[in-house]
C-alpha cells in the first residue's frame, strides 16, 4: 500500500496521483487529507508556500463531490487570476479519472459571458477570485447557495490585498451548514478574525514553524550604495549564468523600469505588474513558464502565489515594506524540496531590516559580496567552455566542413581553442576589466570620495559564515562539478569534507554554478586537495580540482591555471563516461551577458523538466 492509499483516497485519485508522479504525500497532505475525508469539519491549515496545499484540499474535495449532480458544491477562492488558473489546472489533473466533474475558473480580465456559459453547463467546483465572484453573484450568473465546501486559499494574501469585504459578501451567499477550509502560509491577525467570524470550531493544522520561511532557501544579502542597485543586479545575473529568477521591486514603476533596462542590456527579462493588460501579463507568464524569460521582474501583488518550478533565485531588488512579504517572496524558490537562493540587495542603512527578517524567518542571512568583474569573467569563461563541451553537434555543419577546415587550416588546436573562447569572452572581459568594486564597504572610489572612510567597516555585520573571512592564506579552487551533477552548496561541501576527511569548517565559500563550482580552504590543505583530486573519478568520471585565480583566494597565477585547464581538457576526453553527465545540462542553460544577446535562442528542452521536478519531494 502506498502512503497515499493509506490516507483513504479512492482508486481513481490514486491513479491520477501516480500519473502526476507524486510518490509520497507531503506533511500538510498527510495531515489534512484523512481528516477532511473522514470528518465534516472546518479547518485552518498553515503551511509554507510550496508544501503542496492545493492537493491537500483538492483530493478530499474531489472525493467528496457528487459528480452525478450538476449543482455547484465546492467554491475555492484565491487571490489572483494566475493562482486561480493554476489551481483550476491542478484540480483538473487530479480529477482526470473522475467521470463528469467540471471545474470552472472565474476571474477578472476575461469575458464574463464565456465564464457564465461554462458555469451554466454545470460546474461542481468553481475556482474564483473574490472580485469577479462577487460581480457574478450580484448579476445572478453563479449560484453558490448550495455549496458544501468553501476553500479560502492563500487567505493571508487575499486579506493583504484588501478582499475582506468581498469575501464577507461572498460568504453571505453560502449556506451556514457548509464546511470552510482555510489555507494560508502565515497567520496574521486578519486571518484569525476570519477564522473566528466565519468558521465553526475549526480544527487547526500547522506544518513547520508558524510564519517561518522555507528552510531549503539560502538567504543572502549584498550591501551596495543605493545608486549601484542596478549594476549590482546585473552582476548577480552575470555571475549565475543559469539563473531562472524572479526579481522583486517595490513599485510598478520600478518594476517596469528595471525590466526595460535589463532587456535593453540584452537579458531575457520581462515585467509583471498590475498596470499591464491581462493579455500582456499572460504573455509574460507563458514565456517565463517556458523559460524564455530568465528574469521576471515583478511586483509583490502580481507575482503572488505563482507556482513556477525550478526558480533558482529570488532577487530582492528592493526590500518590501512588510517583513511578511519577504517570506512570500523567498517562497517562490526552494519549492517542492528543492534548494534555492533568496538574494537581497541592500544599502547599509537597510541592514536593520535584515536583522528583523532574520528574527522572523529564524534563519540567518549570509553576508555576500557582489562578485568582482574578474570573478564574473572567470565564471563566464568556464561556463562558455562547458557549454562548448556540452553542445550537441549539428550534423548539417558537415556540408560546410571542408570549407571551414580550409579556412582554419593554419591554426593549431590550442590557438583555435583560444580563438573560439575569445569570440564571446573578449566582450565580457572588456566590459568588466575596468569595473569597480560595488560592495558598499569596499574601497569604491566614489564611496570614499563621498562619505569618507569612517565607520564603514564597523557597520558591516560579521555573520557566522566565513564569507567575510580574510582572504590571506585562503585558497580558492575550481571544481568541475556543479548543480547539474546534483550538487548544491551544502551537498558539495559534504562531499568535499568526506572525500578529504577534513572538518566541516575547513571548506568554505562553496559556490555552486550550473556545471562547475568554487570553494575555499586555508592554504595548508592545498597540497592534499590537489593530490586527492588528481586522477579522481566519481562514477567513472574525472572530477578535477584546481587552484582558481580569482581574488576570493590567493591562487596561483593565471598562466598556471591556463596550462592546467588545457591539460585537464585532454584528460577528461579520455574519461569516456563523461557523456553520462551531459543530459541534465540542456534545459536551463541560456547565454547571458551584459551585452546585446546575439542568441535569439529560446528554451531548448522544457518537456523534460516536468517529470524531473517530481523527484525527491521531501
Ligand atoms: P502550495 O500551495 O503549498 O504553495 P502547491 O500546491 O502549489 O504548494 O504545490 C507546489 C508544487 O509541488 C506543485 O508543483 C505540486 O504539483 C507539487 N506537489 C504537491 N504535492 C506533491 C507530492 N506529494 N509529491 C510531489 N510533488 C508534489
Ligand atoms: Mg497554494
What confidence tens digit (pLDDT) does each residue in 159-178 have?
877 788 899 999 999 999 99
Residue 309 CA: which ligand 1 atom is closest? 14
- Residues with Cβ within 8 Å of 323's Cβ and at least 6 positions away in sequence, in order, are 353, 356, 357, 360
How does pLDDT run across 347-376, given as a tens digit for each residue?
Answer: 988 888 899 898 888 888 999 999 988 888
Do the two domains 4-206 and 217-368 of this chain adopt the same fold? yes
How confident is the model over 56-85, as a mean pLDDT?
Answer: 94
CATH superfamily of 4-206: P-loop containing nucleotide triphosphate hydrolases (3.40.50.300)
The whole-angstrom separation of Cα 24 and Cα 122 is 33
Q: Is the pLDDT of residue 523 over 50?
A: yes
Contact 544, 571 (CB under 8 A): yes
pLDDT the model gives residue 186 = 80
For ligand 2, the distance from its centroid to the CA atom of residue 54, given in whole angstroms, is: 5
Q: Is the pLDDT of residue 549 over 90?
A: no
How confident is the model over 553-567, as a mean pLDDT?
Answer: 31
Q: Is the pLDDT of residue 575 over 50?
A: no
How does pLDDT run across 232-265, given as a tens digit for each residue?
Answer: 999 999 999 889 999 999 999 999 999 999 998 8
For ligand 1, the distance from its centroid to the CA atom of residue 617, given in whole angstroms, is: 9
For ligand 2, the distance from its centroid to the CA atom of residue 367, given in whole angstroms, is: 31
Sign of torsion over alpha carbons 383, 388, 389, 392: positive
Range with the lowest mean pLDDT among 188-192, 365-369, 434-438, 559-563? 559-563
How confident is the model over 588-608, as a mean pLDDT?
Answer: 33
Ligand 1 touching residue 26 (CB < 6 A)? yes
How confident is the model over 319-338, as a mean pLDDT?
Answer: 81
How does pLDDT run across 200-213, given as a tens digit for each residue?
Answer: 999 999 887 544 44
Query: Percent of the chain at pLDDT above 90?
Result: 37
pLDDT the model gives residue 605 = 34
> How many helices and strands, by DSSP H and E, does the chain display?
24, 20
CB neighbours (10 Å) of residue 561? 18
In which order are the strands placed within the sheet that holds 545-547? 508-512, 517-522, 474-479, 545-547
How confident is the model over 312-325, as a mean pLDDT?
Answer: 90
How does pLDDT run across 17-44, given as a tens digit for each residue?
Answer: 999 999 899 999 999 999 999 999 999 9
Identify the H or E element spanning 103: strand 103-106
For ligand 1, the distance from its centroid to the CA atom of residue 266, given in whole angstroms, is: 33
Atom 10, ligand 1: which residue's CA is nearest? 50
Ligand 1 touching residue 86 (CB < 6 A)? no
Contact 230, 199 (CB under 8 A): no
The whole-angstrom separation of Cα 504 and Cα 493 is 8
How confident is the model over 459-484, as a mean pLDDT?
Answer: 60
Atom 22, ligand 1: which residue's CA is nearest? 22
For ligand 2, the distance from its centroid to the CA atom of residue 306, given in whole angstroms, is: 8
Q: pLDDT averaged over the chain?
A: 79
Q: Is the pLDDT of residue 558 over 60?
A: no
Residue 48 CA: which ligand 1 atom is closest? 3
Sign of torsion over alpha carbons 134, 140, 145, 148: negative
Ligand 1 touching residue 50 (CB < 6 A)? yes
For ligand 1, the distance from its centroid to the CA atom of residue 311, given in whole angstroms, is: 14
Atom 19, ligand 1: which residue's CA is nearest? 52
How does pLDDT run across 271-303, given as a tens digit for each residue?
Answer: 999 888 888 888 999 899 999 999 999 998 888
More confident residue, 575 or 77: 77
**55, 304, 615: residue to mutate for ligand 1 pocket, most atoms within 8 A of CB:** 55
Identify the H or E element spanning 565: helix 558-574
Which single residue is written with the C-alpha cell 476575461? 110
**311, 336, 617: residue to mutate for ligand 1 pocket, most atoms within 8 A of CB:** 336
CB neighbours (10 Å) of residue 72? 22
Domain edges within the chain: 4-206, 217-368
pTM: 0.49
Which single residue is written with the C-alpha cell 590550442? 414
Banded pLDDT at 557 (limits 50, 70, 90): very low
pLDDT the model gives residue 209 = 55
How confident is the model over 61-66, as a mean pLDDT?
Answer: 96
- Residues with Cβ within 8 Å of 564's Cβ and at least 6 positions away in sequence, in order, are 546
Q: Which ligand is nearest to the CA of 331?
A: 1
Q: Is the pLDDT of residue 324 over 60?
A: yes
Domain range 217-368, its CATH number among 1.20.1560.10, 2.60.120.10, 3.40.50.300, 2.60.98.20: 3.40.50.300
Q: Which ligand is nearest to the CA of 53?
A: 1
pLDDT the model gives residue 564 = 32
**7, 21, 54: residue to mutate for ligand 1 pocket, most atoms within 8 A of CB:** 54
Ligand 1 touching residue 253 (CB < 6 A)? no
Residue 86 CA: which ligand 1 atom is closest? 7
Task: Sort 453 into a burial class: Cβ within 10 Å, 0-12 / 13-18 / 19+.
Answer: exposed
Ligand 1 touching residue 4 (CB < 6 A)? no
Query: Percent of the chain at pLDDT above 70?
Result: 81
For ligand 2, the distance from its centroid to the CA atom of residue 59, given in whole angstroms, is: 14
How does pLDDT run across 102-157, given as a tens digit for each residue?
Answer: 999 999 888 999 999 999 999 999 999 999 999 999 999 999 999 999 999 999 88
Which single residue is written with the C-alpha cell 578535477? 544
Residue 22 CA: which ligand 1 atom is closest? 24
The whole-angstrom separation of Cα 219 and Cα 460 is 17
Amino acid at each position: 500500500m502506498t502512503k497515499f492509499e493509506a490516507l483513504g483516497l479512492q482508486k481513481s485519485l490514486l491513479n491520477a496521483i501516480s500519473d502526476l508522479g507524486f510518490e509520497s504525500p507531503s506533511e500538510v497532505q498527510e495531515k489534512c487529507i484523512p481528516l477532511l475525508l473522514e470528518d465534516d469539519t472546518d479547518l485552518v491549515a498553515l503551511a509554507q508556500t510550496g508544501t503542496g496545499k492545493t492537493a491537500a484540499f483538492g483530493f478530499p474535495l474531489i472525493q467528496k463531490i457528487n459528480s452525478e449532480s450538476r449543482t455547484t458544491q465546492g467554491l475555492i477562492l484565491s487571490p489572483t487570476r494566475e493562482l486561480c488558473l493554476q489551481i483550476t489546472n491542478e484540480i483538473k489533473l487530479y480529477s482526470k479519472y473522475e467521470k463528469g466533474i467540471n471545474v470552472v475558473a472565474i476571474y477578472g480580465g476575461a469575458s464574463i459571458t464565456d465564464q457564465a456559459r461554462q458555469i451554466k453547463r454545470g460546474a461542481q467546483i468553481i475556482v474564483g477570485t473574490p472580485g469577479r465572484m462577487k460581480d457574478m453573484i450580484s448579476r445572478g450568473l453563479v449560484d453558490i447557495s448550495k455549496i458544501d465546501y468553501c476553500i479560502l486559499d492563500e487567505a493571508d494574501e487575499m486579506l493583504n490585498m484588501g478582499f475582506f469585504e468581498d469575501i464577507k459578501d461572498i460568504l453571505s451567499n453560502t449556506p451556514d451548514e457548509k464546511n470552510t477550509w482555510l489555507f494560508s502560509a502565515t497567520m496574521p491577525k486578519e486571518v484569525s478574525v476570519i477564522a473566528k467570524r466565519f468558521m465553526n470550531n475549526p480544527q487547526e493544522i500547522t506544518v513547520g514553524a508558524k510564519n517561518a520561511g522555507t528552510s531549503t532557501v539560502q538567504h543572502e544579502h549584498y550591501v551596495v550604495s543605493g545608486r549601484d542597485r542596478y549594476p549590482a543586479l546585473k552582476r548577480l545575473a552575470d555571475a549565475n549564468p543559469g539563473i531562472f529568477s524572479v526579481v522583486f521591486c517595490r513599485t510598478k514603476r520600478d518594476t517596469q523600469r528595471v525590466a526595460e533596462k535589463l532587456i535593453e542590456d540584452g537579458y531575457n527579462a520581462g515585467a509583471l505588474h498590475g498596470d499591464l493588460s491581462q493579455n500582456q501579463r499572460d504573455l509574460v507568464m507563458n514565456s517565463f513558464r517556458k523559460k524564455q524569460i530568465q528574469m521576471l521582474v515583478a511586483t509583490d501583488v502580481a507575482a503572488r502565489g505563482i507556482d513556477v518550478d525550478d526558480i533558482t533565485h529570488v532577487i530582492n531588488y528592493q526590500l518590501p515594506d512588510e517583513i511578511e512579504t519577504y517570506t512570500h517572496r523567498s517562497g517562490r524558490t526552494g519549492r517542492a524540496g528543492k534548494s534555492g537562493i533568496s538574494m537581497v540587495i541592500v544599502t547599509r542603512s537597510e541592514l536593520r531590516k535584515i536583522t528583523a527578517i532574520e528574527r522572523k524567518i529564524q534563519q540567518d542571512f549570509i553576508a555576500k559580496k557582489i562578485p568582482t568583474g574578474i570573478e564574473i569573467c572567470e565564471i563566464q569563461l568556464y561556463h562558455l567552455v562547458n557549454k562548448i563541451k556540452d553542445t550537441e553537434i549539428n550534423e548539417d555543419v558537415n556540408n560546410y566542413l571542408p570549407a571551414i577546415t580550409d579556412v582554419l587550416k593554419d591554426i593549431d588546436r590550442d590557438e583555435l581553442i583560444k580563438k573560439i573562447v575569445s569570440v564571446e569572452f573578449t566582450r565580457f572581459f572588456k566590459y568588466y576589466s575596468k569595473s569597480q568594486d560595488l560592495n558598499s564597504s569596499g574601497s569604491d572610489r566614489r564611496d570614499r570620495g563621498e562619505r569618507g572612510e569612517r565607520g564603514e567597516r564597523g557597520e558591516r555585520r560579521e555573520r557566522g559564515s566565513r564569507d567575510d573571512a580574510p582572504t590571506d592564506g585562503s585558497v580558492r579552487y575550481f571544481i568541475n562539478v556543479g548543480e547539474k551533477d546534483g550538487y548544491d552548496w551544502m551537498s558539495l561541501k559534504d562531499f568535499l569534507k568526506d572525500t578529504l576527511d577534513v572538518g566541516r569548517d575547513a571548506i568554505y565559500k562553496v559556490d555552486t554554478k550550473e556545471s562547475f563550482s568554487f570553494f575555499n580552504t586555508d592554504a595548508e590543505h592545498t597540497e592534499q586537495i590537489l593530490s586527492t583530486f588528481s586522477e579522481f573519478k566519481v562514477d567513472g568520471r574525472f572530477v578535477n580540482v584546481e587552484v582558481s585565480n580569482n581574488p576570493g583566494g590567493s591562487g596561483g597565477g593565471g598562466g598556471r591555471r591556463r596550462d592546467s585547464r588545457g591539460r585537464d581538457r585532454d584528460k577528461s576526453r579520455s574519461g569516456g563516461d563523461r557523456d553520462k553527465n551531459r543530459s541534465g545540462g540542456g534545459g536551463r542553460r541560456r547565454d547571458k551577458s551584459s551585452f546585446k544577446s546575439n542568441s535569439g535562442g529560446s528554451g531548448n528542452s522544457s518537456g523534460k523538466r516536468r517529470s524531473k521536478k517530481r523527484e525527491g519531494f521531501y
